[in-house]
Structure formats: C-alpha cells, structure tokens
Amino acid sequence: MEEDESSEHKSLIGLAAAPSTSSSSSSLSPNGGADATSDAYIRSLYASRPRVGVCCRDLNYIVYAEGESTRQLLERITFHANPGTMTAIMGASGSGKSTLLDCLIGEKQPTQGQVHVYRDPSWTEDVPQLGGGGGGQGSLQHHCAYVQQTSAFHEQMTVLETMDHSMRIQLPDWQAYDRAIWLGHLLALLHLTLCQRTRVRFLSGGEQRRLAVGIALISLPSVLLVDEPTSGLDSVNANLLIAQLKHFANAGCTVILTIHQPSTRVFEQFDNVLLMNAKASMFFYGTRGQTTKLAKEVLKQQCVAAEGMSVPEILLEHDSRSRHPLPADLCSKCNTEHPMRSAPSIRQVPSEALFQQCWALLRRNWLNQWRDRNVFLTRVILYTVLSLVSVVLFSDMTNTLQDIDRRVRWHYWFTTTIVATSIACMPALIAERAVYVRETRNGHYAPGSYVLMVSIANLPYLVCLSSLSTLIAYGGIGVLHDGVINAVVYCFMLLCALNCAEANLSLISIQCQDLISALVWGAGMTSINVLFCGYIIREDELRSIFTRLLYKLMFQRYYFSAVLINDLGGGRMLDDGIAGSVILHQLDLDDTSIWWCATVLLVATVIARVSLYICLAWWRTVKAYLCSCCCES
C-alpha cells in the first residue's frame, strides 16, 4: 500500500508542474521566488469566491461558576473585518483573544451580542459549489476555516500525503489534475516543498503551523480565523507565516488572527487592529495607520521615548500601567452598519461526491494504520501469546463429562480475555478524535461520513486477529472435532464480538477528553461484560429488574453462549455417551441459537455506531441549547 501511495504522490507532483511552461517550475521551488506565481494563481481561484466580511456587535461572554459567582471573559466587543483584509486581535495573555475567536466560529455561545457575516456589495457573481461540510445559512462557520494553537495530525503520514488526502476529503468533486496543481501551489507558497516527504512527527513547530494553515486553506475559505499563528516561532518564521497569510488576504480572504505583541515587520502586514485589555474588553479598534498615530500621541503625552518598542507594545503598556484612558478623539469608532445580505451557501458537497469523500477518509485511515503498526503488531503478539498459553494449559482436555467443566472454563477465559484486549485500540481512537474535531470544526466532512469510515476501516485487521486466534487456540486445544465448519463459525463469532467491542469503545472515546478517562470507562465496560457474560452469575440468580436488564444488554454474554453452543450443540455426543444438549440444558442454553446470538451482536454493533453518529451530529447542538438555557436562567 505504501509503495502505491508513494507512486501516486510522485505523479501528483508531476502534474503540479503543469500550470505553465516557465513559471510552473518556479512555483514549486523551495525558495521565495514562487510567491508571485502562486499569488496570481490564488487570486484566480478567489475571483469566483464570495467576498465575505464579519461584523461583531456588543459581544459579551460570561462564565458561570459555582454558586452565584461569574467571570466575564468578553465585554462589549464590537468590530468589523471587511472582505480581503487582515485584522489582528492583540492583547496580553488572558485578555480573551481565543475566547473571541471561539465565539465567532460558534464553539462558544456568547451571552449577549451578535455575529453577522455580510457579503461585499461589489461582488455579484454566482457561487460555485466547492468541497466541504454543511452549516447553517448565514453562519460564519459555514464560510470559515479555523486554525487553533494546537493542531492534530496523523503523525505517521508525510506532509504531501496529509495535504493530498485533505484535498480529496475537502474537494471530492475536483479532478485529480486540478487538485495536483492546487497542491503544488500551496506547498510552494507555504514553503513546505523541501519537507513534503517528511513525516509530520519530525516537522519543526513552524512547519507544523504552516501545515495547519495549508490544510485550512485547501477549500478556499472566505474567512480564515487563526489563533496565535506566531506562538512559539522565531522572528523569521513568524514573519514568513504572516506574509503567507497576507497573500490570501490580498486575494480576497478575510483573515482574523490573534497575536500577543508582534514585531514591527509583522505589524506592518495588518490592515486593522483590535486591542484588548486585561479586563477582556476592547479599548481600541482602528486601521494600522490610526493605531500608529495613537501610539505617537500616547508617547507625546507621556513624554517618553519609544526605546525600540513596537506600536502594539506602546499601547498595551499604556493600558496596563496608566489609569488614564486613551484619547477619545483618536480612537476609531467602529462602523458596523453594513448591508446584511446573507452570504450564499458555498461549502456544500455534491451528493455524487460523497462516495469519493468517504473513500478518501478510508484510504487515509488505512495508510495511517499501516504506517503506525505498533498497536496492531502488539495485539497480534498478545493474541498469539494468549492462544499459545491456552494450548499449553488445556491441550490435554478429553471429550468426556469429566473435562466438561474445564472446557467451559477455557471458553470463558479465552473469550473474555481476547475481547478485553480490544481496549488496546483506545489510544489510536483518542488520537483520531482530535483529528476529527479539527476537521469537522472546519466543515471538511459530515459526521455520517466519519462513522461510515470507522465502521469499515478496522474490519480487515479484526479479520486477521480473529483468524489467528481461531487457528492457534481453537484448533490447538483439540475441540475441533466436527471439521472446518465449527472453526469458521467460531471465527465469525469472535469477529462479531471484537467488532462490537470496538464500536462501544469508539463511542466511549469520542466522549472522553483524555486517554486516562477513556481507559477508565473502557475498563469499566469490559469488567461489567465479564461479570455478566453468563459464567460467574447466571440469570436465575439475579433478583432485581435492573440487574436482569443489564444481563440482557451485555454483548459478551451472547458471544460466550454462541461458542458453547458451537462446541457442544448440533447433536454432539461425548465419549461417555452423554449428549452435548444435556450440558447446554444445564447451562440454560438449550433454547438459544448461534445465529440469534450473532444477530444480537450485529444489532448491538449497529446501535453503537448509530449512537456514535447521534453524539457527533447533535451533541454540539444540544450543548449549545443547554448553555443558552443556563444563560437565560
């Protein structure tokens, strides 16, 4: 698989050199000479994109703590970002810059105020339907890409593979030739050509930031929000990244970013500046020229020298130390009166392209699992060792009534242990969750596509694991007396149980914020399944309705019942002349069918996947509704 992917990416780079004869080669060069060509290409792409601005009016955000205490994280924030401009939100740590971006994108619901998107009146062209996910009409999230301070990637994939698969997901209806050209220009403009073959885990901080910005810009968003793009970067990389964002602002994208105290070179790239103080309120908003004029006036009034300080440093220092407000006549009044024509829907995936999007997700997941084989190989070794241990301990079992108890104990130990080791997949699920949150926040795909992908992606690996365990343990123990049919049925039931276990673990992982919590909840679910699988406690020993219901709901009980029926049922006779059905009757399994157990396991898997979709699709809506109810109360 890896060789096929590499050859395909080589062909993509060859296609990326096709925009023109002389300039295309320079567009992929690692130096800065490619910027002009790539800038012209970006302008041509944005020529047919809607020019969308952002208007924020009297935005407040209050956090309600225990009791009646509250903390105001945003207070009466009002500003606008015109289409094709770069607006910088500056302030000290804790001033509410990241919270403001979260409110703009819809991650947090403001306590008061409104956020509008408006279309540039001069832009009148129709909007092409290009890739991405869904969103509400007129919502900023529908037109926006959001780059947070920390971005999650599949670290075993290279830069080129990461960008290529993101393009396949976000632009499933684009032709491969067009995607390759766009990929080449993005790599050149973001100065990622030299490291395109490097895996993400080996990238520097600046390269990872540029990669995150590149992924966000793939779908040509009308609005780009970037949280602390220069955090942790040296001055050279900071200037480089801001200059690259300026390219897209000049092309028509509305760029809004947060930053602490930029250097003079970085500050000169901004069109508008919003300054926030430590009280989470806005104390200045204006153009870069107005900001510079205000800083000079502040220095004049204080009769001090700048001493190499940048303009933002002068104003933020004045706000933190001086009790006197800034001169009112120099503070720009924010004009938020704009034609509030709803910006058109621009990021819908054509129905015929949904299959290509799901296939791109599936291919990316398989490639990442192939690169990061540690989890799979660990489970293979663990299953092999457990199977060999069971062969050593139980290989001397006879087909007599005397060894029936040992046979049942072997089935119980092996089924519970093998299924319990599925918890080893949870670290990978937590890492995948972080990537999912980043991508769905930017509307790359719908939750349904993700659920369909995770339902299929692990099946080949589970088939390998169940076949390996069946081949070693079930055959080595000597319980395979009736031919291959029993082994096939056993392998199928083990596959159903593993698939059901991973579906439930996926549901747990998507709800947990960290690996420790996910492991605790996963271990708790596994322990309950082991307790109610039908060996330690039987159904007739349960007295309360709750425990009986819990007994019925545990999926491992049906797997344990199925393997016992497969071993002792079907007219099987022991060497003592006792029918296996007698043993099954004593275990209360004489009225149970293998295929009924298999059906229950499949239904339980489907229910877990549907529950996963419900959590992914509606959890944010429910959470936002609950927050609004709390604010109203």
Residues 301 and 391 grouped into a single domain: no
DSSP 8-state secondary structure symbol assigned to residue 473: I
Residues 6 and 85 grouped into a single domain: yes
Residues 253 and 179 grouped into a single domain: yes
Residue 611 has pLDDT above 50, yes or no: yes
Contact yes or no for 259/266 (Cβ under 8 A) = yes
CATH code for the domain in which residue 276 is found: 3.40.50.300
Per-residue pLDDT band at 69 (split at 50, 70, 90): low
Any alpha helices (H) in 140-257, and if so which ranges?
140-143, 159-170, 176-189, 205-217, 235-251
Secondary structure of residue 72 in the 3-state scheme: strand
Residue 1 has pLDDT above 50, yes or no: no
User: Is 333 inside a domain boundary?
Assistant: no
Residues 142 and 283 grouped into a single domain: yes
Token readout for 207 is 């390269």
Q: Are strands 254-259 and 144-147 parallel, antiparallel or unpaired?
A: unpaired
User: Is 454 inside a domain boundary?
Assistant: yes
User: Is 355 inside a domain boundary?
Assistant: no
Residues 294 and 202 grouped into a single domain: yes
- The average pLDDT across 283-291 equals 82
Residues 518 and 587 grouped into a single domain: yes
Distance of alpha carbon 60 from alpha carbon 76, whole angstroms:
5
User: Is 358 inside a domain boundary?
Assistant: no
306-335 confidence digits (pLDDT tens): 566 667 777 766 665 554 455 544 444 444
Any alpha helices (H) in 218-350, and if so which ranges?
235-251, 264-267, 288-302, 311-321
* pLDDT on residue 18: 38
Residues 261 and 389 grouped into a single domain: no
212-269 confidence digits (pLDDT tens): 989 999 988 888 999 888 887 788 888 888 888 998 898 889 999 998 878 888 888 8
Residues 406 and 297 grouped into a single domain: no
Secondary structure of residue 158 in the 3-state scheme: strand
Residue 463 has pLDDT above 50, yes or no: yes
User: Is 186 inside a domain boundary?
Assistant: yes
Residues 192 and 92 grouped into a single domain: yes
Q: What does pTM read for this prediction?
A: 0.76
Secondary structure of residue 60 in the 3-state scheme: strand
Per-residue pLDDT band at 351 (split at 50, 70, 90): low
- Domain span holding position 191: 2-321
User: Is 385 inside a domain boundary?
Assistant: yes
571-585 confidence digits (pLDDT tens): 777 777 777 788 888
Q: Are strands 272-276 and 86-91 parallel, antiparallel or unpaired?
A: parallel
Residues 387 and 262 grouped into a single domain: no
Residue 617 has pLDDT above 70, yes or no: yes
Residues 544 and 621 grouped into a single domain: yes
User: Is 341 inside a domain boundary?
Assistant: no
Work out how many domains the chain is built from and give that number: 2
Residues 202 and 288 grouped into a single domain: yes
User: Is 588 inside a domain boundary?
Assistant: yes
Question: 277, 299, 321 — which closes off a domain?
Answer: 321
Distance of alpha carbon 462 from alpha carbon 204, whole angstroms:
35
Listed range (452-466, 574-588, 597-611) with the worst mean pLDDT:
574-588
